[in-house]
Chain A
Amino acid sequence: MSALRVRGIVKRFGAHPANVALAGVDFDVGERERVVVLGPTGAGKTTLLRTIAGLETPDAGTLELGGVDATALAPSARDVALVFQNFSLYPHWSVRGNLEFPLRAPGRALAPAEVRERVQWAAALLRIEKLLDRPAKHLSGGEMQRVALGRALVRRPKLFLMDEPLTNLDAKLREALRVELLRLFQELQVPVVWVTHDQAEALSMGERVVVLAAGRVLQVGTPREVYLSPASPAVARQLGQPPINLLAVERRGDHWCAGDGACLVRVAEVDASRVGDATRARLGIRPEHVAPHGGETQAEVAVVEDAGPHRVLLLHFAGGALHVVVPRDFEAAPGTKLAPRFDPRHALLWPEELSPPREG
């Protein structure tokens, strides 16, 4: 049985056809599964979470929670917990008061001992025991987000809904809390829907990733599936840092070649199952799957970035830009000439796109 089944969810704001936030969304969350919904600003991620929580009413489609139709249930009857990116705590209350609050809601009436026990349990899990008597307004951003999560934990809900919970934190804190939350969810084995625009978060937090754009699901898969076998250039572009290289190519004899004639990969060595017999296509290759030498076309280094464990080169290649990841001791400077070689096992081919990707 799945924790959540989302089928054909449509949500419009106003009558205009351009105001469709969700245009028929389907996905499932398993009983103990962490699913990350990844998409850019405006993809419909937050509307989707709010619809699951019952804060928005869908215009079409159904929701099931734990096998029961919840489409028309009131938010309070759904037993889901929503954690927002701007941690909304009661500033003048202590951490303990904030954690106890959801357990004192009408209709919950837990025994005082049970309330104490649950608050202690959540505080220990989140390592905030020492903060229990501190007013919320005196906490740091990372501590506030832990307390906000604690408020969800104490309820022991059937489903956790996380709306970009790390977005408002400093980069370093985000990294630390991400690891902590991954460990926590792994330990608790609870179902989670985690929404983010950060692809690194999606790949590391998710057991499965739902890639969303303009209110539509583009692909659902494990992190490895969406990273290594993206269904479309639009999915490929949403994952990977540095981003995937995308080139318009055409078949010339035995090779797929770029517009300026540079031959990139042999037809016989690449998987062309998505393009059939087409002679024009879009080729995608991740920067770590391009070797700096061994190819037939010259390229010139424009920018060298030291990313720590490796270097990233931005090359002028075949009339466009090409990112290549090289070992950190690889010698290169702006102006260095290279002959990049694409690893054909990792080259991806898709049908030519109808509208070209945005420049920039």
Chain B
Amino acid sequence: MAFLELAALAKTYPDGTRAVKGIDFAAAQGEFVVLLGPSGCGKTTTLRMVAGLELPSAGTIRLAGADVTALPPSARDVGFVFQFYALYPHLTVAENIAFPLACARMPKHARDVAVANIARRLGLTGLLQKKPRELSGGDQQRVALGRAMVRRPAIWLMDEPLGTLDADRRLAMCEFLREQQLAARVTTLYVTHDQEEAMRLADRIVVMKDGMIEQVGTPLEVYDEPATLFVAHFVGSPGMNFLEGERVGAGAVTLGVRPESVRVAAEEGPAGDGGTPALKGEVVLDEYSGIARCLHVRTDAGTLVARVAADAPTRLGARVRLEFDPARLRRFDRASGRRLS
């Protein structure tokens, strides 16, 4: 049975802006669900409605079997982490983290153990007696995370909690979040515009655009079987390549192929597997990422990106032939942007 259930949920602001246009989805108990989309897609508004910080214009929210649509935040048993941390400036780091436990009347000894544990996991042990103003922004953010995660509410709600951290801390924090969540089995709703973060964290991803849901699926489902052109482009770094030009029956079709499914061969080399579609072009950009390279190849059908091994021999300016495995091609209806089977 669904633990969190949104039904026909909508939010229209007084100025007429339709931030969320009637969305439905459900999360199981213990599931980690990421709301993913660009700025203005309605993901934060959705989260704030679940939190009780915004009142829906229509629809219902059910949490743990109860209709909470009209309940105030304090009556919902939710734990928040926001991008802009708000710590109590007069309390130490340890007191800040222990605060929700003190409110829940946990005995002092148990509180100290819980705080010490989470501080160790977050690398805050040496900072426990400091005041927030003595900490860097990144450290304050970690204290806010610790404070939110020390307690186990019905649901954790997180709005870009890693937004202000440097890239190298983000990955460690992602793993910390995931491990804590797996251990605590607290249902989590997490908002981000960063598809890599979404892939890394989610059991399921809800991809949003213009106040609507484009697709709900596991990270691999949205990556491998995108429901729309938008999802195909938005998920993946870089996103799917698109090729226009094939006509099947009534409508125009757009073909999509992931950069790692584009093979790069010498222009005049031996042909690939029989019948493999191919395109010729010139390498106009070579992006190194350490683990791999992305070659941008200009062809008659537009510029395509191929992900190749870091030590692949192809160089900038080379003439190449691009080959596609037909099994890895995805077909979309160009007019509607929807995936064709």
Contacts and interface: CB of A to CB of B under 8 A. Distances in A.
B248 interface: no
Interface in A299-317: 302-303, 305-309, 312, 314
Contacts of B134: none
Nearest to A39: B166
Contacts of B220: 306
A307 B200 contact: yes
| Most chain A C-beta atoms within 10 Å of own C-beta, residue among B167, B179, B196, B291 | B291
Contacts of B212: none
B175 A170 contact: no
Contacts of A334: 182
Interface residues of B, number: 52
A307 B196 contact: yes
B260 interface: yes
Nearest to A201: B167
Nearest to B165: A41
Interface string A198-242: 111001100000000000000000011001000000000111111
Interface in A153-173: 170-173
Given A172-B193, A197-B167, A314 B285 contact: no
Given A170-B193, A179-B287, A243 B219 contact: no
Given A182-B285, A197-B166, A172 B200 contact: no
Interface in A52-86: none
9 contacts: A170-B38, A171-B193, A175-B237, A240-B290, A243-B168, A243-B172, A359-B120, A360-B122, A360-B176
Contact of A203 (B39, B124, B219, B288): B288
B181 to A, nearest CB: 11
A179 B138 contact: no
Interface in A301-360: 302-303, 305-309, 312, 314, 325, 334, 358-360
B290 A203 contact: yes
Contact of A309 (B136, B179, B307): B307
B258 interface: yes
B241 to A, nearest CB: 13
A99 B168 CA distance: 36
A331 to B, nearest CB: 13
Contact of A241 (B195, B284, B291): B291
Contacts of A358: 123
A261 interface: no
A41 B138 contact: yes
A308 B237 contact: yes
Contacts of A243: 168, 171-172
B39 A170 contact: yes
Contacts of A203: 288-290
B307 to A, nearest CB: 6
A360 B123 contact: yes
A305 B234 contact: no
A204 to B, nearest CB: 4
Interface in A132-158: 141
Contacts of A170: 38-39, 193
Nearest to B234: A172
Q: Which 3 A-B pairs have the closest CB atoms?
A: A360-B123, A204-B287, A309-B260
A183 B285 CA distance: 7
B330 to A, nearest CB: 14
Contact of B236 (A238, A305, A308, A325): A308
B194 A171 contact: yes
A186 interface: yes
